[in-house]
Amino acid sequence: MGRTAARSATVLTVAAAMVSLGAAAPSHPKPLLKTPAKSPVAVGHGGAVASVDPDASAAGIDVLKRGGNAVDAAIATAAALGVTEPYSAGIGGGGFFVHYDARSRTVHTIDGRETAPRSAGPGLFQEKGQPIPFAEGQTSGLGVGTPGTPATWESALDSWGSKPLGELLKPAERLARDGFTVDATFRSQTEANRDRFADFPASAELFLPRGKLPVVGSVFKNPDLARTYKEIGREGTQALYRGDIATDIVRTVRKPPVGEGVTRKVRPGDLTARDLRTYDTIRRAPTKISYRGLDVYGMGPSSSGGTSVGEALNILERTDLADASKTQYLHRFIEASRIAFADRGRWVGDPAFENVPVKELLSQRFADSRGCLIKDNAVLTSPLAPGDPRRPAACSNKGKTAPTTFEGENTTHLTTADKWGNVVAYTLTIESTGGSGITVPDRGFLLNNELTDFSFAPANPAVHDPNLPGPSKRPRSSISPTIVLDEGRPVLALGSPGGATIITTVLQTLTGRLDRGLPLVEAIAAPRASQRNQTTTELEPGLWDSSLRAKLEKIGHRFRLNAEIGAATGIERLPDGRWLAAAEKVRRGGGSAMVVRPSGNP
């Protein structure tokens, strides 16, 4: 092992020894159902699951206990999240799946991103040459892409799974039929969508029965979704892409079922049965960089996560972040993020439509040509012009800028591992909190509004925008499921929701763990900053209220407050062979980390 790899391994070993299992779980009203205990960290043998929800994590753990592998557990967990986290994920959406195969010691990825209808063109979200209001794309059939989640499950199981889909859907089917305990996050997210849900009878009936918000501590049931899961389990995922479910999806998108007297302008979409019938996932090569002697794998385009996290890490490679002060660390982290976002805005889109220079974006040569822009006593101007990875010019800051376009911030991430050493990092989404707001009648799931991740119009008309809509095109994503290996063996796996903030959350968590020596659960819990090539950097309250803000402002940084950024989960392989699962302590009410056989302290 090289000196940098040995140092990173030492950091991980020492920091792992610091983890405490004594963190108090957030208090909740006494539930009407027996909900699994929630803890942000767990350690032991036999495999692990980390998600935002204890019912979902328990579904994955149950699969592992019955001999399933990490892929099986990931799908069972994801299906359960479609019940308990329906505003973040579900079979009406899509996602990106990263898998480490312990037998071959290789990493593979599945692009399960939603696609635009075959009829879509660059003006999909324009009217008379001008972009329509974002709200009219968000709450509409126009923003709905062909769902990719069920096809992702099928692709993953065909390649690496060991259990039939029908068996893996059973825990989620029971959860939907029998119900789960409503928590404060579910209620608040319902309240945030109250006006939208009320305009669609199927959404109102499911989420606002008798016009009322769900009560914290009560039981929420979704019998329609239970029946839908049962049908998919019996007939396979083609039930959603070719059968009656497909017919219901197309009808709902093309003629959104709004209530009587609704004044909201709800635009129809042009999704067809052919769009559903011809949808397929894509097995893509993962992105890969070397960082401190470790191999960091991520998701390639159509996601910008792997290229952006990778480029930023390459930039930070030249700085000793372990010995840097907190101010120096955050300054460098913010500036590396700014640069990576400037470059992703110009170069990253669906590779079926755009020539994305992935290899060049991830080259150390390009990172060095961009990293030399960073000064310790000054802040780069935003929006920053992109560099050219094909022809890197040292410290060049010329050219036209491509500002970051808006992305919805609600998604969910899960991480699993099994007793054989296989690992999955899987991020799935329906885009905005509540997706399109439209529930497919009698089916129990919300449709996505992922097409709003496209640029409604070029961010800068003078610069080529690789993220304009097109026929069957995948909108650019920031989803960043990441797996870190040391000489072919897993060290960490992690990811987060949060729209474009996913990239900065994963980057900050990685550097917090690998460089700053924080235990994984503390690296996840640390207050976050997010710079996305904008004039101001977002700060969570823990940084906004700290003395670090004033110190960074003296250098020239400008900030705005964001109450909550992301909701990460991760898994780490400890030096003694045990798995450590970690999730949020507070964000979204705290996450759920579980292992098959708990065993002592780290």
- Taking the C-alpha atoms of residue 343 and residue 356, their distance in angstroms, rounded to an integer, is 11
- Specify whether 509 is catalytic: no
Measured distance between the N- and C-terminal CA atoms of the chain, rounded to whole angstroms? 23
Nearest to 279 by CA among 98, 473, 432: 473
* Joined tokens for residue 477: 């994503």
- Rounded distance between C-alpha atoms, residue 410 and residue 433, angstroms: 5
Query: Considering Cα of 208, then 210, then 213, then 217, what sign does the dihedral take?
Result: negative
Annotated active-site residue in 146, 411, 504, 509:
411
Find the largest Cα–Cα distance for the chain.
69
Provide the token pair at 401: 């800028």
CA-to-CA separations, 82 to 150, 169, 297, in angstroms, rounded: 11, 11, 26
Phi-psi region of 465 (alpha: psi -120 to 50; beta: other; left: phi over 0): beta
- Residue spans of alpha helices (H) in 305-461: 305-316, 326-347, 358-361, 364-371
Give every CB contact of residue 200 below 8 A, 6+ residues apart in sequence: 256, 257, 258, 259, 437, 438, 439
Q: What is the dihedral of CA 539, 543, 547, 553, to 10 degrees?
A: -20
Measure the CA–CA gap between 158 and 69, rounded to whole angstroms.
13
- CA 126, 127, 130, 136 dihedral sign is negative
Helix%, strand%, coil% for the chain, nearest 5: 35, 15, 45
Tell me how long the chain is.
602
- Nearest-10 crossing angle of helices 223-235, 165-178: 170
Distance CA 600, CA 580 (A): 11
Q: Which two tokens stand for residue 350?
A: 């669906």
User: Of 174, 168, 214, 216, nearest to 194 (Cα)?
Assistant: 214
Position 441, amino acid: P
Q: Which of 380, 277, 297, 282 is nearest to 335 (CA)?
A: 380
Q: Decide the pairing of beta strands 41-51 and 579-583.
A: antiparallel
**How far is it, in rounded angstroms, from Cα 248 to Cα 21?**
47
Q: Annotated active-site positions, please?
A: 411
